[in-house]
Amino acid sequence: MEICLPEEKAKAKEWAPLIMKGRDDSEPICMTKVPHGTDVDYGALTKAKIVAFQELGAEAARFDKSRVKENLAVHCVC
């Protein structure tokens, strides 16, 4: 296993290009690399899942993290 420290931005971009794409270089990030691992774009996976559910007739709701209680009051079936 290898470690990538916050000051090693070039190494981080080499190891995980999708994660580093568009990321502010002033934002610290550390990584560990396992030889049999892979780079995963969870944003793209999430969007693909939402589209698939919508194609099956599901409805997607977007929540504002800063308004959690208000969102729950509107969308919660209790």
Q: Which residue has the tokens 């290898």?
A: 2
Please list the rounded mean pLDDT of every run of 10 residues in the chain (78 residues): 93 92 92 82 90 92 72 59
Give the pLDDT score at 62.
76
CA 13 to chain centre: 16
pLDDT tens, 43-60?
A: 899 999 999 999 999 988
Residue 31 CA to residue 2 CA, distance in Å, equals 8
**What are the structure tokens assigned to 16, written together?**
């995980």
The pair of three-digit structure tokens given for residue 7, joined into one six-digit string:
């000051």
Six-digit token pair at 43?
């944003």
Q: What are the domain boundaries of the chain?
A: 2-75
Tokens linked to 20: 């580093």
pTM of the model: 0.46
